[in-house]
Structure 1
Amino acid sequence: MKAIERESEFSGIPASFSVRPATPGDSGIATDLFNRCSLEQLGHTEFTAEDLDHEWQSPGFDLAQDTRLVFAPDGTLVGYVELWATAPYVRMYSWGRVDPQHRGHGVGTSLLQWVENKARRRLSQAPEGTQVVLVQGTLSTDLLAQELFAIRGFSLARYFSRMVIELDGPVPDPVLPEGIVIRPFVRGVEERALIRAISVAFKDHWGYVQRPEEEDFRQWMHHIDHDPEFDPSLWFVAMAGTEIAGMSLCHNHLPEDPEMGWVGTLGVLRPWRHQGLGLALLHHSFREFQHRGRRRIGLGVDAQSLTGATRLYERAGMKVVRQYVNFEKELRPGKNLATLDLGA
Structure 2
Amino acid sequence: MTTANSLTWTPLSLEDVPALTALLNRVDQADDLGEPAEEPSTREWLTLPGRDLALDSLAVRDGDDLVAVSLADVHLRLDRDGRARCQLLGTVDPAYRRQGLGAALFEHGERRAAELATARHPGAPAVYRTSGGRDPEADSDPSAPLTGGADVRPLLERRGYRRVRSWLSMTRELPGAGLPVTDPEGARVSAPSDTEREATRLAHLAAFADHWGSAPIGEERWNMLWSSHTARRELSTIAVDRDGTVLAYVIAAEERPGVLYFALVGTRPEARGRGLARAVVARTLGAAVQAGYALAELEVDAESLTGATRLYEALGFARDAVHSTYEKPVA
TM-score, normalised to structure 1, is: 0.85
Aligned partner of 1:221 among 223, 230, 249:
223
> Where do 5+ consecutive residues of structure 1 fail to align?
7-12, 333-344
Is 1:97 the counterpart of 2:104 in the alignment?
no
- Partners of 1:267 and 1:190 in 2: CA distance: 15
Q: What's the counterpart of residue 173 of structure 1? A: 180
- Partners of 1:193 and 1:123 in 2: CA distance: 29
Q: What's the counterpart of residue 276 of structure 1? A: 275
Letter in 2 for 1:278: A
Q: Residues 88 and 125 of structure 1 are in contact (CA less than 8 Å); yes or no, is this contact kept in structure 2?
A: no
Letter in 2 for 1:76: D
Q: Residues 248 and 268 of structure 2 are in contact (CA less than 8 Å); yes or no, is this contact kept in structure 1?
A: yes
Offset, 1:23 = 1.1
Q: Residues 174 and 294 of structure 2 are in contact (CA less than 8 Å); yes or no, is this contact kept in structure 1?
A: yes
What RMSD in Å do the two structures reach over aligned CA positions? 1.9
Q: What's the counterpart of residue 338 of structure 1? A: none
Q: What's the counterpart of residue 140 of structure 2? A: none
Offset, 1:209 = 2.3
Q: How many residues align?
A: 312
Q: What's the counterpart of residue 102 of structure 2? A: 108
More displaced, 155-164 or 315-324? 315-324
Distance 1:122 1:181, change over 3 A: same
Q: What's the counterpart of residue 41 of structure 1? A: 31
Letter in 1 for 2:204: I
Q: Residues 139 and 324 of structure 1 are in contact (CA less than 8 Å); yes or no, is this contact kept in structure 2?
A: yes
Aligned partner of 2:18 among 23, 28, 41:
28
Distance 1:77 1:224, change over 3 A: same
Aligned partner of 2:159 among 139, 149, 152:
152
Letter in 2 for 1:231: R
Offset, 1:43 = 6.8
Q: Residues 78 and 102 of structure 1 are in contact (CA less than 8 Å); yes or no, is this contact kept in structure 2?
A: yes
Letter in 2 for 1:17: L
- Partners of 2:197 and 2:161 in 1: CA distance: 37
Distance 1:288 1:143, change over 3 A: closer
Letter in 2 for 1:38: D
- Partners of 1:190 and 1:17 in 2: CA distance: 48
> Where do 5+ consecutive residues of structure 2 fail to align?
79-83, 136-148
Q: What's the counterpart of residue 71 of structure 1? A: 61
- Partners of 1:192 and 1:247 in 2: CA distance: 12
TM-score, normalised to structure 2, is: 0.88
Q: Deviations over 1:151-191 (max 9, x none)?
A: 1111111111211001244532332332222012221x222
Identity percentage over the alignment? Answer: 24
Question: How does 1:259-338 map onto structure 2 within 5 Å?
Answer: 259-332=258-331
Q: What's the counterpart of residue 206 of structure 1? A: 212
Q: Residues 237 and 281 of structure 2 are in contact (CA less than 8 Å); yes or no, is this contact kept in structure 1?
A: no
More displaced, 267-276 or 176-185? 176-185
Question: How does 1:115-126 map onto structure 2 within 5 Å?
Answer: 115-126=109-120
Q: Residues 173 and 284 of structure 1 are in contact (CA less than 8 Å); yes or no, is this contact kept in structure 2?
A: no
Aligned partner of 2:196 among 190, 194, 198:
190
- Partners of 1:64 and 1:250 in 2: CA distance: 32
Distance 1:201 1:165, change over 3 A: same
Q: Residues 156 and 325 of structure 1 are in contact (CA less than 8 Å); yes or no, is this contact kept in structure 2?
A: yes
Distance 1:60 1:126, change over 3 A: closer
Q: What's the counterpart of residue 241 of structure 2? A: 240
- Partners of 2:283 and 2:151 in 1: CA distance: 40
Secondary structure class of the residue paired with 2:164 = strand
Letter in 1 for 2:220: R
